[in-house]
Structure 1
Amino acid sequence: MSETSRDEAAVGTVPAPAPPPQARKNVSRIAAASLIGTTIEYYDFAVYGTAAALVLGPAFFPSGNPTMSTLAAFLTFAAAFLARPVGVVLFGTIGDRLGRKRALVLSLILMGVATVGVGLLPTYGTVGILAPVLLVALRLLQGVSMGGEWGGAVLLAAEHAPPGRRAVYASVPQMGPLLGFLLSSAVILPTMGVFGREAFADWAWRVPFLLSTLLIAVGFWVRTRVEESPVFDKPVTARPSAPRFPLGALVREYPGRLLLGVGAAVGGSAVYYLVIVYSLSYGPKALGIPQSTMLAAASLAAAAAAAATIPVARLADRVGRRPVILAGAAGSVLWVLPMFGSLSTGDGLLIGGAFTVGLLLLILMFGPMAAFLPELFPARLRYTGASATFILANTLGGGFAPLVATWLNSHWRSPLVLGAYAGTLCLISLACVLALPETRDKEFGL
């Protein structure tokens, strides 16, 4: 049986049962809980990305060559992405076999422990080589946590969504990465302002990590009080029969959709991490742009993209996922070159405007993606399928983006190479989405 026929048999022909009245009343609360969780998780991740760009290189990887120190810090950033597939296997199995809520709570706890641990680490000057070893270990734990976060948050919202509004509800957690970055900037900038750049590089960089303790406590309280997905809120005999090893079944039954789903999201991942993470280091160090200017430009773009997420998802519910995603991918292919080229001007307003257009095009790709990827797979493999496609795309397109960009700019000293790199990946995404079917009318059957 082909993948399309199998998917239609598993998903398209089984009417989704209407959610019970109590579930309908709690949909908004569940969507809010998904947003809170992804915001907290991505705050932790964004704090690390910003710290890697600013101070972690010399603190944990001292070197006479600043480029090598920064490269080493970004290697630890990439290490967390390498651990994400482990999270997909672990939390995908938990989420598909035992329930979405349980996987989400566990992933949040793991992220909290790892992030606070980074804030408490001694530096290389105190304990020598043990410092970067411990840093990498905690980064791996963060990566495992992120491997389970996105799929669970999206599914918890999407599987409770009213008919015809799945893209809207699924897109709510998609604001988490943007809001997490904005929250991290709202903490990092005042911390630098209060203590000064020198003190921030010396010790005050720990403050944003330690403050996540409060956020984790709030997220844990919210997530333990939300209802389980309707797929699991029923007798065991009526639940989807998930295989013992969901990832193996996914690779065996849906290899084409898995690969195309990864390709569909890889371009947007590169754009996001080049703008939100890499540019914060590249602008000041390579082009002499003030750090505050780069943070302000990226924050303006992130705020605009977050505000556009729900309207874009509404459009995807009306006209379909593919037209909206294709428009974003095509626009990104054309825009990333002038967007990164704007860095050569050093003009904060011009850079902020270019970044804003770039992230608005990104939201055209990523807003509907939260519904599009889960809709490619049946309920028994949905957590693993959605997580695997998105997380692998994030790893390939986003996790290595700062590392690849650092290497590219060590050979070709022009921001245009960033646009060429991101544009190539967005072109791949365009081709992959063209090869995938429209999923708007598919039911979330068992």
Structure 2
Amino acid sequence: MAKKSVVYKCSKCGYTQPAWLGRCPECGEWNSLEECILDSNAPKSSLKSDGTVLKAKPVPMQKVSQQNNSRISTGNEEFDRVLGGGATKRSAILVGGEPGIGKSTLLLQAASSLLPKGKILYVSGEESAGQIKSRANRLNLEAGSLEILCTMRLEDILDALDSLNPLVVIVDSIQTVYSVEAGLVPGTITQLKYCSNELIGWVKERDSVLFMTAHVTKDGSIAGPKSLEHMVDTVLSFERTRDEVRFLRAQKNRFGSVDELGLFEMDEKGLKCVSDPSSLFITRRKKETPAGIACASVFEGSRVFIVEIQALTVPAKAAVNRVYSEKIDSARVSRVAAVLEKRLGIKFSDQDIYINVAGGIRLSESAIDGALAAALYSARTDISLPEKTAIIGEISLAGEIRPVTKQKQRIKAARDLGFQKFIVPESEAGATQVETIKDLIKCLFVESK
């Protein structure tokens, strides 16, 4: 580790010397000498021209000035929603997703919308300037004043940052950036940590925002060290189920909720916000609803969606039954099936269970338990649920239907989409209250006959 030396530097004239003095010998100013450190390991963004860095000292919170108007709108409603109301100044945002999903398109569109607010620097280590311009023309973006830097060298990026002092910096992607200080091969753990630290250190000292795109592994996680996700302020995950629909989620957000979901559609004009997301996850049918289908009202952040849960049961192909479920946790499916088997006597232990969610959205909220139980019972008995029925409620191991938050808003969202019957755990005007899983099944499959 390199040795750190302490010097004292005059804040008025820049004179330095090894010991503190009450008066600067050069300019004669009193109490102007500040303790500085000669540290070769410090981020280059924090180094002054003479190679010193000001020693950090604690400050009482009451003397810290609060940042006002610290958020910047990206011009995209769904993007801003996931960020918590816009990008926060002096923050670093990491956007991950599989190749071709639209990370570069999303950030290029955001850059075009942000240009009237200040300088934007778009750094690309994967595409040429001509390719970026061709995409901007194809998307009909007004990005003539966008600063484009096609390089992989960190030193070139830092020089451009110092000369332009942009409001927003976009690095596409961080895995392509390298510094000679950390080796010559991009994408290594050392390179990712070193380059990210330098770029993050630069924006933390200025009212700027840093966006970095990142590659992902086969299982969908950000490629590279986990410490990269700890270093940034926000980690966004870009996912898709169909070619035209994309989901943007926050896995980490220091300045907002991680429960918000952004919905986009991809067409020849780029990414567009989904106009009516409330009905995106239900199937419009002209005929009767088949067995194994149930609808639930779920919250994703501040919005309510009506989702269709699909279940199928078939005799187990092996001695041990299996649960096939990508969008709902398999452990949750097994738990609800066990409660049905214990409380109602309907056997699932000799069945393979297949679960799907229309539209491909991942569900983790406990309010889907009631609808999941109804879909499993319907699939096992081959009896369809009543038409236009929405089910809300969490199921305990004792078979109780437990209340969930914001029941009234869930019912309203379902009613707006044409649902007429509502099964809920708490008393509500126009809805049917059930207390146990037996009451739920009786209400749906016995009384409805």
Q: Greater strand percent: which structure?
A: 2
**TM-score range relative to shorter protein:** under 0.3
State TM-score, norm by structure 2: 0.21
State TM-score, norm by structure 1: 0.21
Q: Greater helix percent: which structure?
A: 1
